[in-house]
């Protein structure tokens, strides 16, 4: 093992520096080094989407990003979705609509759905299903997740 590498990045709006090994994934550094355990590891090979984060605004599986690749990047995790003590409409609608059971996939769905609504504020059911098909949920059968995203879309339009 060589020396650790120094990385400067922005996470949830704050400048962050960390040291990592070249082989460490961004997911690993977020969880183990920076204590941001909201992103979950379900497969570690980009299949399940439980570790989804926003990387320069785009949803990505953080298990597939090497930590060193985040030099200079803007990263947002599930921990940043609620602001100033208030839940985001997506979070409210997931709770009101019982869109989670065990909850392990929920952070990934919330991040993917946030990216979707930023791009497309009024998606159809089919568009939501397509955009969220990289996130696996084994508990809900997806019904209530799709409906929660639809409800959040409506609520965000009301606010704007």
Q: Report the interface residues with another protein, using CB under 8 A.
A: 21, 23-24, 31, 35-45, 47-48, 50, 77-79, 81-82, 87, 91, 94-98, 100-107, 110, 125, 128-130, 132-148, 150-151, 154-155
* Calpha distance 10→71 (Å, rounded): 9
Q: How far is the CB of 94 from another protein (least distance, A)?
A: 5
72 or 130: CB nearest another protein = 130
75 or 128: CB nearest another protein = 128
Q: How far is the CB of 144 from another protein (least distance, A)?
A: 6
Q: How far is the CB of 122 from another protein (least distance, A)?
A: 13
Q: How far is the CB of 112 from another protein (least distance, A)?
A: 10
72 or 87: CB nearest another protein = 87
Q: How far is the CB of 145 from another protein (least distance, A)?
A: 7
56 or 133: CB nearest another protein = 133
Burial-class residue 90 by CB neighbours within 10 Å (0-12, 13-18, 19+). Answer: buried
Q: How far is CA 142 from CA 44, 116, 128, 145, 147, in A?
A: 22, 16, 11, 5, 9
The secondary structure of residue 62, as a DSSP letter, is G
Provide the strand spans (E) within 43-125.
52-55, 58-61, 74-76
13 or 103: CB nearest another protein = 103
∠ CA(89), CA(49), CA(124), 5° rounding? 50
Cβ neighbours of residue 117 closer than 8 Å, sequence gap 6 or more: 90, 123, 149, 152, 153, 156
């Amino acid at each position: 093992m060589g020396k650790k590498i120094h990385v400067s990045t922005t996470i949830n709006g704050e400048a962050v520096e960390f040291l990592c090994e070249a082989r460490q994934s961004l997911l690993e550094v977020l969880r183990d080094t920076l204590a941001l355990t909201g992103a979950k590891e379900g497969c570690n090979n980009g299949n399940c989407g439980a570790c989804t984060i926003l990387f320069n605004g785009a949803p990505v599986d953080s298990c597939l990003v090497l930590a060193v690749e985040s030099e200079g990047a803007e990263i947002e995790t599930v921990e940043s979705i609620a602001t100033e003590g208030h839940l985001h409409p997506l979070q409210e609608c997931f709770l009101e609509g019982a869109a989670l059971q065990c909850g392990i996939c929920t952070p990934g769905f919330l991040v993917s759905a946030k990216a979707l609504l930023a791009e497309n504020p009024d998606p159809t059911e089919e568009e939501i299903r397509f955009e969220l098909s990289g996130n696996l949920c084994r508990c809900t059968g997806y019904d209530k997740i799709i409906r929660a995203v639809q409800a959040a879309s409506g609520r965000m339009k009301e606010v704007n």
